[in-house]
Amino acid sequence: MRFVTGALTLTTLTLTQGADSAVVTRSFASGAVRIDPGMILVFQPATPTQEGQVYLRGTFGSSNLPRVEYAGAVATWPYVRPP
Q: Is residue 83 part of a domain?
A: no
pLDDT in tens, 26-81: 999 999 999 999 999 999 999 999 999 999 999 999 999 999 999 999 999 999 99
Q: Is residue 10 part of a domain?
A: yes
pLDDT for position 52: 97
Q: Is 48 left (phi over 0), alpha (psi -120 to 50) or beta?
A: alpha
Q: Is residue 25 part of a domain?
A: yes
> For residues 3 and 13, what is the distance between their CA atoms, to the nearest angstrom?
9
pTM of the shown model:
0.83
Q: Which residue range(s) make up the domain with 19? A: 2-77
